[in-house]
Chain A
Amino acid sequence: MVTAVLSSGDTAWMLMSTALVMLMTIPGLALFYAGLVKKETVLNTIFLSFSAYAVVSIIWFAYGYPMVFGPDVHGFIGVPGDFFFHNVVESNTLVGSIPTSVYAAYQMTFAAIAVALISGAIIGRMKFGAWMLFIPLWATFVYLPVAHWVWGGGWLAQLGVLDWAGGTVVHINSGVAALALILVLKGRKERSLLPHQLGYAIIGAGLLWFGWFGFNAGSALSAGQLAGSAFIVTNTSAAAAMLSWMLIEYLRFGKATMLGAASGIVAGLVAITPAAGFVNIPAAIVIGFVTSLVSYTAISYIKPRLGYDDALDVFGVHGFSGIWGALATGIFASPLINAAGAGLAYGNPAQLGIQAVAVAATFAYSFVATLIIAKVIDLTIGLRVTAEQEVQGLDQALHDESAYHI
């Protein structure tokens, strides 16, 4: 029997990766969203991400972690136990070559960003109390089960789905949840995207790109070949997607925009997330290049046609690029990069089918469960602010403060 040994190198990298993924949410995502909204709703927008991070931090160690990674119940959920991490640290256990505490903290940051991502769709019109209630309900009833299915030995894991760092668990899940939530919440009175301070959004996009190295290279759970491989394809896909979004805009309007480039970066990072530990550089270029086409089409053609008010395009970017990334993993996964997975291009067409099942299952579950949560909140405390508060802007209406006094 091989005894598990703690590696201080792996542990150091995973502590660093945990902090990097935390940085993606606060302030990365918070700034990315805040720059795109009107100046009367900046603090509320930032607040949504910060509060998601704080609530999930508590839930995760109170009962969340074992519901994902604990003993499996019929492939659906882990057995709750070890409440408040009781006796976990004290028993000095390892996951691979790192302490369980480090593994749990790392996974916590994924749950937190998944919830925070949803906030981009609902800005400018949701009650703060309703959001504070939505966070624990969604994290508990949607994130924990789906994370268990894919990463905790649940039914999709048993089926052999490949999801390196959360294409289904984080991005499809939160993108589809955003869609379901806004279908109940309804659209804003004024449906525009006029950034009050594009500089914030650009700093946010930069922090996301930077933090994503923790998200994807960290998902190797070790500081070795796979981490390096995931790192370079993550960067390559982001770059390819940025250039492809710029090209689309150039062909359509004759000019590239910085917001378009930033949107492409995020789309490219989303798409490579499920694939990062499985694919090589040429595949990453294809994944990145195609994903901007997918998300641009979703935002510019599908959204206006179907009429849902996805304010900052959470479904358009995370939902659509997440789906493309999950399917692309089933195409491009190379056994030469990672023996754990072979895709269609390496003679295993069945993998693409498994990926499609995972996409469909995540989409359906997230959509229906989020719809129910949204309805329950709407019928109890109400989801939406008053029309007067919406027009006034949520910073003053809900928080009695303003981002700017100039």
Chain B
Amino acid sequence: MKKIMAIVRPNKLEVIKEALDDIGCSSLTVMEVKGRGRQKGITEVYRGREYAIDLLPKLEIHIVVPDNVASKVVDTIAKAAHTGEIGDGKIFIMNVEQVVRIRTGERDHDAI
């Protein structure tokens, strides 16, 4: 099993959810996060003074899926979240050892 952790633009969430629905992968968890990448944030000006806004708001989407669909999910998110401009975000994929569904006690593949 793989956990897919995607950091994306907040305003891309709806498009990403629709794209994931289309491939039958609707379970996900979303967190509001802040971060910076290679571009190191942006500059804003208030009353003539410049401020470096170095942590920008992003959404972090967590999805756990069976190994064989992981790359399809990653491609779907990458395509939906893409604008081609700086700040589109990143996707991380990692192994998951165990999954438990709390309501039923099911384990692993049955639980995701």
- Report which A residues bind B (CB closer than 8 A): 192-195, 249, 252-253, 255, 257, 259-260, 263, 296, 299-300, 313
Contact = CB atoms under 8 A, between A and B. Distances in A.
Given A255-B45, A257-B45, 7 more contacts: A193-B47, A194-B46, A249-B48, A252-B48, A253-B45, A296-B48, A300-B48
Interface string B58-94: 0000000000000000000000000000000000000
Contacts of B46: 193-195, 257, 259
A260 B46 CA distance: 7
A209 to B, nearest CB: 18
Interface string B5-20: 0000000000000000
Looking at chain A's contact residues, the main secondary structure is: helix
Contacts, number: 26
Contacts of B49: 193, 300
B51 to A, nearest CB: 6
A263 B49 CA distance: 14
Contacts of B48: 249, 252, 260, 296, 299-300
Interface of B: 45-49, 51
A192 to B, nearest CB: 7
B109 to A, nearest CB: 37
A300 B45 CA distance: 12
Nearest to A260: B47
A193 B48 CA distance: 10
Contacts of A193: 46-47, 49
A193 B51 CA distance: 9
Nearest to A248: B48
A194 B55 CA distance: 14
A98 B77 CA distance: 70
Contacts of A249: 45, 48
A136 B45 CA distance: 37
The 10 closest A-B pairs by CB, nearest first: A300-B48, A193-B46, A299-B47, A253-B45, A259-B46, A193-B47, A257-B45, A194-B51, A299-B48, A263-B47
